[in-house]
């Protein structure tokens, strides 16, 4: 079955390491016959949630940015792939802002399980990340956030993580293995 895959790029560099990882991933899933769309959060600005609650439940956000136009793409996607460079040991603020705005796709749950307040559309989800360092703990905070928020709380189904350490720095310093 052909799947609709929505990749959300939270990195800032159009030809950077994360973009290259996205390209490789996209080629693989396209070759397997699936449909891929990449949304750049540089080209589609999404601000953080204001916490005004005007969107509860499933109403549009009052903010005038690109998020409301992305809601239909999120709802139609079978798999949402979150992609980001590692910034200060976690996902980029752009990607975090995008996830905060899931507040307006939440649905009322009349009987939420312990620790939950609402329910969300059920989606497959994956995480793609790049970083300069490559220690065993390099992606720990990002993975923890992904697993706790996207998988345990929102309820997306984890389809895996591609965590590419040692990609070199954004100032042009090459990966450590090439120095």
**Chain positions contacting ligand FMN, by CB under 6 A:** 11-13, 16-19, 85-89, 130-133, 138, 167-170
Which tokens go with 69?
Answer: 């136009």
Nearer to ligand FMN, 77 or 86 (CB): 86
| Strand extents, DSSP E, the chain | 4-9, 35-40, 79-85, 107-108, 118-119, 124-130, 157-164
- Site of tokens 């959300």: 8
From the CB of 5, what's the least distance to ligand FMN, in Å? 19
From the CB of 90, what's the least distance to ligand FMN, in Å? 8
Residue nearest to ligand FMN (CB): 16
Nearer to ligand FMN, 18 or 63 (CB): 18
CB 127 within 8 A of CB 146: yes
From the CB of 97, what's the least distance to ligand FMN, in Å? 15
Nearer to ligand FMN, 63 or 84 (CB): 84
From the CB of 88, what's the least distance to ligand FMN, in Å? 5
Nearer to ligand FMN, 12 or 121 (CB): 12
| Residues 23, 44, 96: CA angle, nearest 5 degrees | 80
From the CB of 167, what's the least distance to ligand FMN, in Å? 4
Nearer to ligand FMN, 19 or 74 (CB): 19
């Amino acid at each position: 079955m052909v799947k609709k895959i929505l990749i959300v790029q939270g990195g800032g560099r159009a030809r950077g390491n994360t973009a290259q990882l996205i390209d490789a991933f996209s080629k693989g899933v396209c070759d397997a016959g699936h449909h891929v769309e990449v949304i750049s959060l540089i080209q589609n600005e999404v601000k953080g949630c204001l916490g005004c609650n005007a969107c509860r439940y499933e109403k549009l956000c009052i903010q005038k940015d690109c998020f409301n136009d992305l809601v239909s793409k999120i709802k139609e996607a079978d798999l949402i792939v979150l992609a980001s460079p590692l910034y200060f040991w976690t996902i980029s603020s752009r990607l975090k802002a995008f996830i905060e705005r899931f507040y307006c796709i939440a649905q009322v749950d009349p009987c939420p399980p312990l620790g939950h307040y609402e329910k969300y559309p059920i989606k497959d989800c994956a995480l793609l990340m790049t970083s300069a360092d490559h220690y065993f703990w390099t992606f720990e905070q990002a993975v923890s956030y992904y697993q706790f928020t996207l998988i345990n709380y929102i309820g997306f189904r984890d389809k895996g993580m591609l965590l590419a350490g040692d990609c070199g720095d954004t100032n042009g310093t090459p990966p450590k293995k090439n120095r």
